[in-house]
Amino acid sequence: MFVSQAETLRKAIEKLIDAKLHDVLARPGGLDRLMAHRRTGVASYDIRQAERHLQDTLSELIDGTTIGGDHNNNYHESVA
């Protein structure tokens, strides 16, 4: 279970890095845009989507829900 969680987290981080690299390298003024994003928080749609995906992944991992349907998990959280 921990291996799949680590893999899911790694993929989400890579997706964010890829979105930022693509924005910097593929579009004119990319480096200026990246620096502006660091200062103001305003980012392109692809970067915002990748950030949201990473936040969702972290939330799911912290909450203890499984990502990708790990059916071998016998742990069931009970609510009292």
Residue 23: which domain range? 2-63
Q: Is residue 55 assigned to a domain?
A: yes
Q: Is residue 75 assigned to a domain?
A: no
Q: Is residue 29 assigned to a domain?
A: yes
Q: Is residue 53 assigned to a domain?
A: yes
Per-residue model confidence (pLDDT) at position 66: 52
Q: Give CA–CA dist 29/77, Å, rounded.
A: 49
Q: Is residue 79 assigned to a domain?
A: no
Q: Is residue 69 assigned to a domain?
A: no
Q: Give the number of domains in the chain.
A: 1
Q: Give CA–CA dist 32/54, Å, rounded.
A: 23
Q: Give CA–CA dist 27/1, Å, rounded.
A: 39
Q: What's the CA angle centered on 47, arms 70 and 28, to 5 degrees?
A: 145
Q: Is residue 11 assigned to a domain?
A: yes
The tokens for 6 are 């680590």
Task: Per residue of the chain (80 residues), give pLDDT as tens.
Answer: 678 889 999 999 999 999 999 999 988 888 888 888 889 988 889 999 999 999 999 999 888 755 454 434 433 333 43
